[in-house]
A = this chain, B = another copy of it.
Amino acid sequence: MFFREVINEDLGCVSYVVADGSEAAVVDPKWEIEEYLGMAEENGFGIAHILETHNHADHVSGRGRLAAAAGARIHAPAEAQAAYEHEPLREGDEIRVGDVRITALATPGHRPEHLSFLARDGSRSGEAWMLLSGDFLFVGDLARPDLAVEAEEGARGIFRSLRKLEGLGDFVELWPAHIGGSLCGGAAMSRKPSSTLGFERRFNPHLQVGDEEKFVRNIAAELPPQPPNFERIVELNRGPLLTEAAPPRALTPQRVEELLRGGAVLIDGRDQREFDGAHVPGSINVTTNQSGVGTRAAWVVPPDAEILTTAGGDEKARGMVRMLEAVGFRRIRGYLAGGVAAWRAAGLEVKTTPALDVSGLARLLERKEASLLDVRSVEEWREGHVEGSIHLPYQELRDGIPEKLRGAERPLAVACSGGVRSALAASLLERAGVEGIMHVADGGVPDLERFGVRLTR
């Protein structure tokens, strides 16, 4: 039996390749399919089956591209209401690749149609060896229950689905569809991609709770906000097969300027400090220095916007095209060839954002020479913030200038915890026409204490 995980590191999504002899199955394929094809060629197997655990909400499935490239048959949950051609899967249905049997187990909760897959390697034993748990059971956590139905209903589903695992041995491996950093689970999700049922039974706090009401209260409480693109991604995943990736077109500065004038959005993936130094007016800084590029972009850019990219090098700009496609952007026009240097060389206008570090911010706050805009999450704010600062999670800046900012003193120093979200927020404000913005780089609010600024909890 051949087995490999293939991770989309940007989104924290995990897919799996299960093969035996000349045949393979890919479970929950990601949008970029090159790795699957390379693996098939290197190992001399053909991709005969594609399996989906559910209609994903956080990434666009690569099933259409993979089916077109490899001629594979698609198997999807019968209840997924899929508009594409597929073999409907129900509890107990089985797919074989060589000696390996993959059996569907209905595990509703995260979504009503959700299936997990039990894999058995007949050459080793007739017993289940692995549970590919999709977005049901994670390492150290559980799926969020509120994306398809009411949180309470979802939580009850998860509680009951967990009972179905009781007959499986402690030695069964657990391979979920997400790792830490994904938006489909909570903060407790591990960055370790796999675990075992025995380990999770003992040490996953949610699995210690035998009382359904208490369980439901626990996991339906305090859910993070839902990204605005999730419903759209589900629709894309349910709809007709997407077989074509956007051609990553090289565009001249002049052409980019034309498209920007027509309403396109330029997403700049460079390091925050480089962006501060010089950037295309109106462009948005979503640095590729940190994972979650697609997710951050999807929070602040309308899904039907015309998109352009630029980054530190054309190769990275092309990579961003795929990252953005993976979260459902379908109108990506290309990238700025040669980057911002080419833009400047063409004599076009650039903007600069004044940046300061945490010690500089502390000094300004002490002298009351600036207001502070804190763009971190509600949880982070609660853990410690500066008295009198303005709190607006960066996601709330997507629709222009919020009311809260109207009377704020200038300059307005924009901070988060490390400098990534603050750069994004500063670029959004600049785009909206707000003046007197400063970007707090290389650190953020939690670091202020070291410079004598008191944080309120």
Contacts and interface: CB of A to CB of B under 8 A. Distances in A.
Interface size range on A against B: 20 to 34
The binding surface of chain A is classed by DSSP as: loop
Contact of A202 (B127, B140, B173, B193): B127
B195 A173 contact: yes
11 contacts: A2-B192, A3-B193, A121-B192, A124-B140, A124-B190, A125-B203, A129-B195, A129-B199, A172-B199, A173-B199, A198-B198
A121 B203 CA distance: 11
A315 interface: no
Given A170-B198, A171-B196, A194-B194, 20 more contacts: A1-B190, A1-B191, A3-B191, A3-B193, A9-B42, A42-B291, A121-B192, A124-B199, A124-B203, A125-B199, A125-B202, A127-B203, A129-B195, A170-B171, A171-B198, A172-B196, A173-B194, A173-B199, A196-B196, A196-B198
Interface string A103-128: 00000000000000000010011010
Interface in A193-210: 193-199, 201-203
Interface in A177-198: 190-198
A433 interface: no
A411 interface: no
Nearest to A128: B199
A197 B197 CA distance: 12
A171 B2 contact: no
B173 A170 contact: no
A354 interface: no
Contacts of A171: 170-171, 196-199, 201-202
A169 interface: yes
Interface in A58-85: none
Interface in A1-26: 1-4, 9
Contacts of A196: 170-173, 196, 198
A4 to B, nearest CB: 8
Interface string A138-174: 0010000000000000000000000000000111110
Contacts of A201: 171
Contacts of A129: 195, 199
Interface string A274-306: 000000000000000011000000000000000
Nearest to A7: B4
